[in-house]
Amino acid sequence: MNVSLVDTHAHLVSEAFAGDCDETIDRAKGAGVSAVVCVADGVESSESSIALAARREEVWATVGIHPHQAGSAPDDVTTALSRLCTEPRVVALGEMGLDYHYDFAPVADQERVFREQLRLAGELNLPVVIHNREADHDVIRILRDERAERFGGVLHCFWSDWKTAEAALELGFYLGVGGPVTFKRSQDLRKILERVPLDRLVVETDSPYLAPVPNRGKRNEPAYVAESARALAEVKGVAFEELAAITTANATKLFNLTLNQAGL
């Protein structure tokens, strides 16, 4: 049976793919990936993601500023990003959020840039891609403050506790599942994912980071999303083909994608 998967989070304009981006996309197609959401982390990568999506029908783009870049973000985030959001293949705002593991940007700057992007998402009715590392309480607090249930989104690379998962689900968000679901030390994550409804899950790679087993330690790429999907299917007790169909439908709904599945 042919399957169709969507990698909902990949950084294809990263330097890691500078020499073989097109070949990487072709390998993903060969692995049954019908679409890749190329996620931005700043204004420059937003522009590059849009350009890639314009020339590859399998790729869709986001526009956003990562919390690591918040300290150097434009004074007027809304103006800097809103002009890019009019491009036809932009499907979300992000990657945005909070990261308390590293101190690449002051927390106050991270929160300001996060809130400004959420407000823009509300104005444009675009879903958001959320980065959350060791900031569960504040991420949920800000999402509630900014009434993020109006436009929804995904907590990408979900690896938090059940309380955070439950709060995100109450806001109408999806949870993004990637390489960590395959790691031996992720028993707690798998137990949480057992409780999450299938219609609220999407799969991702976060390429070039967090490659799943058996490719852990290598450069991650969209073709490997199948490994995370297989592991998630096992967690949920469903066939791989069913998991692929459901998560692809979820991604299509979340990002309003039009998929070209011919030849898969």
What mean pLDDT is predicted for residues 255-262? 78
Question: Per-residue pLDDT for 200 more than 70?
Answer: yes
pLDDT for 261 equals 53
Indicate if the alpha-carbon torsion angle 179, 134, 41, 104 is positive or negative.
negative
What does the longest C-alpha to C-alpha distance in the chain come to? 51
pLDDT for 65 equals 98
Q: Rounded to an integer, what distance in angstroms lies between the CA atom of residue 38 and that of residue 46?
A: 9
Residue 170, class by beta-carbon neighbours within 10 Å (0-12 exposed, 13-18 middle, 19+ buried)? exposed
pLDDT for 184 equals 95
Residue 175 — φ and ψ, nearest 5°?
A: -115, 130
pLDDT one-digit tens code per residue, 86-137: 999 999 999 999 999 999 999 999 999 999 999 999 999 999 999 999 999 9
Contact of 44 with 71, CB cutoff 8 Å: no
Question: Per-residue pLDDT for 1 more than 70?
Answer: no
Q: What percent of the chain has pLDDT over 70?
A: 98
Q: Rounded to an integer, what distance in angstroms lies between the CA atom of residue 98 and that of residue 109?
A: 10
pLDDT for 236 equals 98
**90-99 and 59-63 beta bridge pairing:** parallel
Say how many Å lie between the first and final Cα of the chain, rounded: 10
pLDDT for 259 equals 82
What mean pLDDT is predicted for residues 125-150? 98
pLDDT band at 264 (very low <50, low <70, confident <90, very high): very low
pLDDT for 2 equals 82
Q: Which amino acid is at 56?
A: R
pLDDT for 263 equals 35
Question: Per-residue pLDDT for 190 more than 50?
Answer: yes
Question: Per-residue pLDDT for 254 more than 50?
Answer: yes
Give the mean pLDDT of the chain.
Answer: 96
pLDDT for 262 equals 41
pLDDT one-digit tens code per residue, 22-43: 999 999 999 999 999 999 999 9
Instruction: Say which residues have a Cβ less than 8 Å from residue 141's Cβ, sequence separation at least 6.
Output: none
